[in-house]
Structure 1
Amino acid sequence: MSEYPIGPIRVLLADDDALLRMALRLVLAHADDIEVAAEAVDGAEAVDLAVRHHIDVVLMDIRMPGTDGLTATEALSDLAPAVRVVMLTTFGEDEYVTRALAAGAAGFVLKDTGPQELIQAVRVAASGEAILSPRITRGLIEQHVVTNARRAAEARRQVETLTARERDVLALVGRGLSNADVGRRLHLGEGTVKTHVRSILAKLGCANRVQAAILAHEAGLPQEA
């Protein structure tokens, strides 16, 4: 059963660059199921508008004057946890990506993301899944996967708490596959995959799929799948 919001997906654009907001609005206007309901020029305004306009997805710039996107994401995580925040980022911002994960971001898209990829990212975020852009995830994993034997051993120990099927699912999550793609690879229903992912995150103590993907790489799972 779909987890998309009833009616159009209400999106808020939060970026201090007016030209970028215009470009994002024009792209999203091509999707009949997406409505740009509000725009904000800083994090404080984004939080206020997201709550007042019952926003489903926020496309949030990381660096803005005044209240930045990270602070705003943390605030929304407390005030309106149902709002899905997707960070707008560029290459070279891995430090911010890491902090955004901890703040509760649902995922990331690069500012040069193509129109169809951007539209799909909004839809996926609204459905409750994390946005794992392969380009961003690759850099993030390279930054965080360490060669320290103790860390690798700890990651393997954590993974051993999972069932065999959960390890199969985690291995594919580590490759950046969506729930639907995981289901096709393992011949499982999408709902079953979602149940496995929730269990995996709980057992591993991961806040989201990106953290789980990093742990999967540290444990060597993608090579085993």
Structure 2
Amino acid sequence: MNKCTTMLVRASYGNVDILVPTWASVSAAISRSYLGAKFEPENFARKTSKHIEDEIDAIWKSKCAKNDRLYNASKFRLAGCEMKQDNLVLHLGLTCYKDLCGTNLSENFSLLQAKGTKDFSNKQAYMSDVLGVGLLAITSDACLVVTRRAQWTGEYPGALDRPGGHPEPSHIFLPDGSLKPDYSHLKTEEAVLQEVGVGISKAGGRGRARNK
């Protein structure tokens, strides 16, 4: 058993999968040196078809008609991960919030998963699987810090939640896909990891919206 395996467990909460550090690990954290990223937008993109895109467009138009504060933006897609020597390597592509609404958050998500299983032996093949980041903040007097989501948000409006959000590809990439000047001295994967916010600490985790 390698170092990363002993420091991580996969936990599922509702439709979210989270990689959680084990409390028994050294400092209850995953060191940055044990983490990596393989950023391949083409290889790690979701599968699609004209019919699926038409469905996504229809869902998005309907949501925007009901909520004029919604807007689309690029997101990282968590396609999977692998253990490479002693490192946990995240497989990351690109997706967007619109695609999330039309796949993972769609009422027909189970049909997309069934199609993914049939076509690619991968139920998540057609899903957006946006990467989310969050933390569990515990105070010195053993209270859990939570936030309440705004009523206008597209996901779980008004629900209690942990502090968090989504890493933004637009923070590090220019429209042509090259790194912004502030990140140009870094390798692409290192810049992506910096935006994702890795390492994972005692109070944190990484997950994706992933329907059962």
The structure where helix makes up a greater share of residues is: 1
Taking structure 2 as the reference length, the TM-score comes to: 0.26
